[in-house]
Amino acid sequence: MKDAISVEQSRAARGLLNWSRDDLAAASGVPKRTIADFELATTAPRSRTLQAIRTAFEAAGVEFIPENGGGAGVRLRRTSA
């Protein structure tokens, strides 16, 4: 499923962007408590919640790297010079 992102990807993406959970909540429209519960692996969010988080990260320039034997990951989108 395209919208599935892992806890590790969410944390890493926030780190790349230097975003707090408050920043992600503002960008995605997802409550901060829901983001915290997801990143602490205490709940499994609904598909639409994960999609909102992913969309916010992608709009900010994060690319999600699919599982390729070495694990899924994230990186910042390259900008053309």
The pLDDT of residue 80 is 60
Is the Cβ–Cβ distance between 49 and 34 less than 8 Å? yes
CA atoms within 13 Å, Cβ hemisphere of 15? 10
2 pLDDT more than 70: no
Q: What is the DSSP letter of 78?
A: P
> Where exactly are the structural domains of the chain?
7-76
Beta bridge partners of 75: 63
The pLDDT of residue 78 is 82
CATH annotation of 7-76: 1.10.260.40
Q: Please write the tens of the pLDDT for every residue from 24-79.
A: 999 999 999 999 999 999 988 999 999 999 999 999 999 998 877 677 789 998 87
